[in-house]
Amino acid sequence: MIAHLRGRLLLKTPGRVIVEAGGVGYEVTISIPTFTALPAEGAEVALHIYTQVREDLLALFGFLALDEKRLFERLITVSGVGPKLAVTILSGLSPERTVAAIRGQDHATLTRIPGVGKKLAERLVVELKDKLEDMAAAPAPAPAGPAAEDVLSALVNLGYQRPAAQKAIETAIAKKPAAGESFDELFRMALQVIR
């Protein structure tokens, strides 16, 4: 089994990289947080790897952070969660927020992730809430004003990735704290940051 891969980053796109190691290019599926933390193409990169082997498939899933890989491995133990959906979950929420949502039985946060419905959110909570004690859960971020959740929802509906949208909102509020009170103002400022 391939558990770790170090080599030159030949190609990176959201969701996929190709890493050359020993003259072989390995295609690896990645999450959005891993993608945003990757160095530039041509640089050396080291990824923690989960290898999926089926009779018709050999697929690699890569993570820069070991904690993200460990959470991925827990997620795929849940009935109905395969590796691709686990990557989608990790792309929709940071590992800390995912752990916090599962341990806090926060179905609403989990169902905001594409592909996670009410039943799957309940299953994630039931099957994992007692298996994540060794993973630190960050406290849920305090709302940054009444408009922040609405602006986040609007940006995600426009096609922006949730982590990028959250960061844009946080940046906008850091620049002007009063913006968190007004949907229009916060939305405009967040759009300027995210572009």
Taking only the tens place, the pLDDT of each residue in 10-45 is 999 999 999 999 999 999 999 998 998 899 999 999
Looking up tokens 């039943």 gives 119
pTM of the predicted model as reported, rounded to 2 decimal places: 0.67
- Structure tokens that stand for 112 in this block: 């905001």
Question: DSSP secondary-structure letter at 138?
Answer: P
| Class of domain 148-194 (CATH, top level) | mainly alpha
When the candidates are 3.55.10.10, 3.50.50.60, 1.10.3720.10, 2.40.50.140, the CATH number that belongs to 4-63 is: 2.40.50.140
DSSP annotation of 104: T
CATH superfamily of 66-128: 5' to 3' exonuclease, C-terminal subdomain (1.10.150.20)
List, for residues 40-59, the tens digit of each pLDDT value.
999 999 999 999 998 898 99
